[in-house]
Structure 1
Amino acid sequence: MLTAALAHTNAADAHGRWPAPQRPDLARAVVVARTHYHGLQMAQLAARQWASGGTPEGVEVLGLVLVTDAPGKLPRPLREFAHLVSGGFPRVWEIPWFEEIRCGAPPAPQHPAYRRIEKDLSRVVSGGIPHA
């Protein structure tokens, strides 16, 4: 979903695995997770793996993208869990609820949320945003 929105970049979906870097300076990753309990658990696991050195050598995690899993406000326990998990990443972006994504349509790459992520990632990669 995020890869489709950023199709004009060199983004690629790693299908739940860490990237296998050809060169250490190209091993950048963004973890993407739905905001339901299981998605947040998987993001927490990824943060722990990265923090403990359990990722391939040279992998740099740029941040976490939280994709809203349902319309409406996130229930308090999930908001609190998302806040906790977010602390394990250098930066966090949020994608709002899109009914069309749920139905299988590609996301609208011109949406401000995608544009913000694209702009921030471009600045991070070029050295314009320091690590948190």
Structure 2
Amino acid sequence: MPSPHRGEPVAWVNAHGGGGASTLSRALGGADLGLRWPEPAQGEPGGVLLVARTHSGGLRAASQALNALRTGDHPPGVHLIAVVLVADAPGRLPGTLGKRVRVMRSAAEIHRVPWIPAWRVGEEPGSLPKAVRALAGLFPAVPGGGVVP
């Protein structure tokens, strides 16, 4: 189901340390807020792309953040656009983790970012995978922001 907030400025928020918000913000634009919710009253974007790795701890942190959003434990004006799950290793997810992603999908729009070897060593890939480029469709281009090759 499409988000009613598509096309608005976004804040990338990590569900846990090292989730990938900084890398995605650099690649696509948007505000990198690290581990904190945005403050729309202070002019920050209220639309959140919640970022987590696909390992057990990352999926647990994403579920906890989704619960915080559900219960209203965030500043006024904050709303989820989507959850962005960044691969923690190459290949398919183990079945137990895949099941957790499917459960999460029942509560939020989920986007998966595949393993990108260049990012692991701090380099930029020659071109971004289609799944990453598709994320740019969730928000407007930011002048001076990331470039989608």
TM-score with structure 2 length normalisation?
0.71
SS of equivalent to 1:22: helix
SS at match of 1:55: coil
Give how far 1:47 is off: 0.4
The answer for the alignment partner of 2:76 in structure 1 is 57
Count of matched residue pairs: 118
Partner residue in 1 for 2:115: 97
In 2, Cα distance between the equivalents of 1:52 and 1:115? 31
CA contact (8 A) 1:44 1:88 kept: no
Residues 6 and 109 from structure 1, CA distance in 2 versus in 1: closer, same or farther, beyond 3 angstroms?
farther
Change beyond 3 A, Cα 1:18–1:47: same
Change (3 A) 1:6 1:47: same
Asked if the contact 1:4/1:107 (under 8 Å) is kept, the reply is: no
1:38 aligns to 2:57 (yes or no):
yes
Cα pair distance change 1:53/1:24, threshold 3 Å: farther
- Greater fraction helix: 1
Structure 2 portions without partners, runs of 5+: 1-22, 141-149
Say if 1:65 and 1:92, in contact at 8 Å, map to a contact too: yes
Give the match for residue 48 of structure 2: 29
Identity %: 34
Q: Distance in 2 between matches of 1:21 and 1:63?
A: 17
Q: Distance in 1 between matches of 2:54 and 2:130?
A: 19
1:117 to 124, 129, 135: 135
Question: C-alpha displacement at 1:22, in angstroms?
Answer: 2.8
Structure 1 25/87 Cα, relative in aligned 2: closer, same or farther at 3 Å?
A: farther
Code of the aligned partner of 1:56: P
Residue deviations 1:15-39, cap 9 Å, x none?
A: 1111111368941111011000011
Counterpart contact for 2:48–2:81, Cα < 8 Å: yes
The unaligned stretches of length 5 or more in structure 1 are 124-132
Aligned to 1:129: none
> Aligned partners of 1:61, 1:28: CA distance in 2, in Å?
6
TM-score normalised to structure 1 length: 0.80
